[in-house]
């Protein structure tokens, strides 16, 4: 049987065929990727992390929470039913580095902000089994002992500002942290939990309670 022109002219010339394949794949890639870089992200309604939340986020990264938790609700019915509205690209505008994650040993955390009271997180991080019977999440009880140094947070805020997060030049990091932390310790106190405002757990609660809230408000009328 005679060989087809495709086989003799292309498939038998491996170098040429590899070259043409590369060109074809590149065109497909550019068509997908180029519009993403050309459309500016609309960050209206997306707030950068406050200094206390930045501190919590640094702890989240240090402890490797992303090894068990993703932060991305996919636009699939089962996901939006369980977690809430799906994740939009602009919601990650101030996430440097992003915490999308790739494993879900625990549930997705993208929409966890506002889901539980502060006291729930305090107890859950101390002993996950106390709030979620049978949980395999490890205890992070040292967050209830360790203290946050505002100088470290200042360095993180400076780095984020360099990368484009809109923090005012005269932002008083230590004062902003103290104000927000006082709000959290007051709420904890009303649940009969005493803790100092500079403990790492307070920063972690601030971060967890911000998670996905902007998107939840912006896209509340959409699935
Ligand atoms: C070994 C895997 C693992 C690690 C590491 C881990 N978690 Fe979890 N996490 C889980 C599992 C499993 C659950 C579900 C059961 C539960 O509520 O404890 C969970 C639940 C949660 C929830 C409640 C989510 C919801 O919607 O009910 C939060 C919040 C949370 N984790 C935060 C964290 C934070 C913050 C860290 C890092 C300090 C962390 N987790 C590290 C496995 C993990």
Q: What is the pLDDT of residue 40?
A: 82
**Residues 188, 195, 131, 117: what is their CA dihedral angle, to the nearest 10 degrees?**
20
Q: Which residues contact 46 (CB under 8 A, 6 or more apart)?
A: 90, 91, 93, 94, 214, 215, 218
Q: Per-residue pLDDT tens for 14-26?
A: 999 999 999 999 9
Q: What mean pLDDT do residues 69-78 have?
A: 95
45 in Cβ contact with 214 (< 8 Å)? yes
Taking CA atoms only, the protein residue closest to ligand 1 atom 37 is 65
Taking CA atoms only, the protein residue closest to ligand 1 atom 36 is 65
Q: Which is nearest to 147 in space by CA: 59, 24, 22?
A: 59
Taking CA atoms only, the protein residue closest to ligand 1 atom 21 is 106
Q: How many CB atoms lie within 10 A of CB 109?
A: 25
Mean model confidence pLDDT for the chain: 95
Q: Per-residue pLDDT tens for 137-151?
A: 999 999 999 999 999
How far out from the chain centre does Cα 169 lie? 25
Probe residue for ligand 1, chosen from 63, 68, 131 as the CB with the greatest number of ligand atoms within 8 Å: 68
CA distance 222 to 184: 30
In the chain, the percentage of residues whose pLDDT exceeds 90 is: 91
List ligand 1's pocket residues with C-beta within 6 A: 60, 63, 65, 67-69, 105-107, 109, 112, 115, 128, 132, 135-138, 140, 204, 208
84 in Cβ contact with 113 (< 8 Å)? no
Q: Per-residue pLDDT tens for 162-188?
A: 999 999 999 999 999 999 999 999 999
Probe residue for ligand 1, chosen from 57, 64, 69 as the CB with the greatest number of ligand atoms within 8 Å: 69
Q: What mean pLDDT do residues 61-85 have?
A: 96
In the chain, the percentage of residues whose pLDDT exceeds 70 is: 100
Q: Per-residue pLDDT tens for 112-134?
A: 999 999 999 999 999 999 999 99
Checking if the pLDDT of 103 tops 80, the result is yes
Q: What mean pLDDT do residues 203-220 have?
A: 95
Q: What is the pLDDT of residue 210?
A: 97
Rounded to the nearest whole angstrom, what is the distance from the C-alpha of residue 138 to the centroid of ligand 1? 8
Q: What is the pLDDT of residue 36?
A: 81
Token representation of residue 199: 């403990």
Q: What is the pLDDT of residue 183?
A: 97
Could you identify the residue written with the tokens 């649940």? 191
45-117-78 Cα angle (round to 5): 65
CA distance 88 to 187: 31
Q: What is the pLDDT of residue 41?
A: 83
Q: What is the pLDDT of residue 189?
A: 97
């Amino acid at each position: 049987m005679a060989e087809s022109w495709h086989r003799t002219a292309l498939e038998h010339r491996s170098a040429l065929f590899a070259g043409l394949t590369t060109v074809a794949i590149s065109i497909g890639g550019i068509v997908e990727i180029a519009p993403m870089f050309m459309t500016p992200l609309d960050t209206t309604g997306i707030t950068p992390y406050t200094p206390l939340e930045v501190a919590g986020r640094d702890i989240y990264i240090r402890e490797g929470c992303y090894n068990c938790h993703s932060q991305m609700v996919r636009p699939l019915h089962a996901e939006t039913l369980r977690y809430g509205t799906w994740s939009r690209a602009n919601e990650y505008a101030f996430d440097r580095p992003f915490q999308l994650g790739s494993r879900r040993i625990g549930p997705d955390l993208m929409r966890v902000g506002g889901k539980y009271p502060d006291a729930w997180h305090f107890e859950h991080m101390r002993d996950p089994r106390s709030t979620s019977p049978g949980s395999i999440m490890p205890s992070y009880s040292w967050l209830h002992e360790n203290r946050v140094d505002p100088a470290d947070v200042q360095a993180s805020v400076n780095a984020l500002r360099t990368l484009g997060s809109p923090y005012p030049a005269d932002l008083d990091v230590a004062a902003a942290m103290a104000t927000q932390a006082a709000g959290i310790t007051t709420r904890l106190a009303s649940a009969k939990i005493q803790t100092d405002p500079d403990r790492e757990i307070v920063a972690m609660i601030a971060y967890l309670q911000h998670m996905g809230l902007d998107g939840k408000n912006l896209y509340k009328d959409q699935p």
